[in-house]
Amino acid sequence: MAQPDSVRYSGRFAPSPTGPLHLGSLYTALASFLDARSHGGRWLLRIDDLDTPRNVAGAAERIIDTLFGFGLQWDDDIDFQSQHLDEYAAAIERLRERGLIYRCICSRAKLADSPDRYPGYCRNQNPDPSQAHALRLACPNQDIRFIDRLQGPMRQNLAKQVGDFVVLRKDRIFAYQLAVIVDDCRQGVNHVVRGYDLLDSTPRQCYLYQLFGQAPPTYAHIPVIVDGKGQKLSKQSRAAAVSTHSGARTLYRLLCLLNQAPPPSLRNASIADLLDWGIRHWQPAQLSGVARISQPVAHDY
């Protein structure tokens, strides 16, 4: 039985339109879709198009067409981050009113010696607002804890391990960490299935949820696909765009990569039949504790 709307599972897939979908991003989309549908929940599509310098013309349309071609049908209207700039600005203002953010004029060169943690150079300096600056969120010296469905209990001290992080970039683009919280709250997302590479940023998001008085979603970070060199499949590594030309074969292959062990009898099944089987037999625990899955070199997808 479907849950009431107030507690019904609500998941999402939120790609950035910086290029077409590759096998790794389709793999994540499929996992998110199967998890939502297996719970009788809704699955939303959001286009994370805030990072305008990296957006590629026509990429959003190609992503939408590819998902549709693989039968990954979303609920409700497609949401675009670029339509919600006022909401992000309002969230920044709430943090500002509470004295939780400050201006930072540090250059990348200055931060090169401490890439993993911001040392707090500008925290007590009050730089001139006429200078180009980012806005950082002051982080307390306390542990942020959450339990990931696949990776188990997680703990991170933001002050010691990350430092104060950016919520508004120098180029006046709202940072991912802030925008994703505003987006998921607006859309009522309560379950997030995404790649293991985003696990480290989750405590920052949990802290923002805490500041805004909202409960964070339940997280499940799935293994990322890596190539023969151990490099994550990504647009940056020039991963090939996925094609719907042999869609059913690609879906079967993705179910295997997700450790779902589809029976050989499904090798020649239709996309609809593969998705139906995947929903009915979805076992996310098969991915528990795994960070990476190797992808054999192939070009038939």
Q: Please report the pLDDT score of residue 234 as a whole number.
A: 58
* Cα 270 from Cα 261, distance rounded (Å): 17
Condensed to tens digits (0 to 9), the pLDDT of residues 177-223 reads 999 999 999 999 999 999 999 999 999 999 999 999 999 999 999 99
Q: Copy the structure tokens of residue 169.
A: 């970039």
- Token duo for residue 41: 């929940």
User: Alpha-carbon distance 274 to 266, whole Å?
Assistant: 7
Residue 64: both structure tokens together: 């939408």
Tokens of 71: 């039968």
Annotated binding residues for L-glutamate: 12-16, 48, 176, 194
Cβ within 8 Å of residue 70, ≥6 positions away: 26, 30, 244, 247, 250, 251, 271
Q: What is the pLDDT of residue 296?
A: 53
pLDDT score recorded for residue 301: 43
Burial class (CB in 10 A: 0-12, 13-18, 19+), 211: middle
Query: What pLDDT, on a 0 to 100 scale, did the predictor assign at position 228?
Result: 66
Superfamily of domain 19-82+217-294: HUPs (3.40.50.620)
**Which residues define the annotated binding site for ATP?**
235
What pLDDT sits at residue 297?
44
The domain ranges of the chain are 19-82+217-294
Look up residue 276 and give its two tokens: 């139906």
Six-digit token pair at 37?
């549908």
Instruction: Give the Cα separation of 123 and 163 in Å (integer).
Output: 10
Task: Let me know: does 67 contact 52? Beta carbons within 8 Å.
Answer: no
The angle, 0 to 180 degrees and rounded to 10, between the axes of the packed helices 271-280 and 247-257 is 20
Query: Can you say which residues are annotated as belonging to the binding site?
Result: 12-16, 48, 104, 106, 118, 122, 176, 194, 235
Q: Average pLDDT in the 72-89 region?
A: 98
DSSP 8-state class, residue 81: G
Task: Return d(Cα 60, Cα 114) in angstroms, integer.
Answer: 35
What per-residue string of b and e applies to 251-262 under the rule 16 or more CB within 10 Å gives b? bbbbbebbbbeb
DSSP letter (8 states) at residue 101: E
Place of tokens 């990776």: 151
Write down the pLDDT at residue 1: 35
Contact 184, 205 (CB under 8 A): no
Share of the chain above pLDDT 90, in %: 82
Q: What is the mean pLDDT of residues 24-36?
A: 97
Quote the distance between the C-alpha of residue 237 and its chain's center: 18
Per-residue model confidence (pLDDT) at position 54? 95
Quote the pLDDT of residue 243.
78
pLDDT band at 300 (very low <50, low <70, confident <90, very high): very low
Span of 109-123, 161-175, 264-278 with lowest mean pLDDT: 109-123
Per-residue pLDDT tens digits for 213-259: 999 999 999 999 987 666 676 555 556 788 778 899 999 999 999 99
Helix residue ranges, H only, the chain: 23-38, 59-69, 85-97, 108-111, 158-161, 176-187, 202-211, 247-257, 271-280
Check whether 299 has a pLDDT greater than 60.
no
pLDDT in tens, 96-154: 999 999 999 999 888 888 778 999 999 999 899 999 999 999 999 999 999 999 999 99
Q: What is the pTM of this model?
A: 0.92
Annotated binding site for Zn(2+): 104, 106, 118, 122
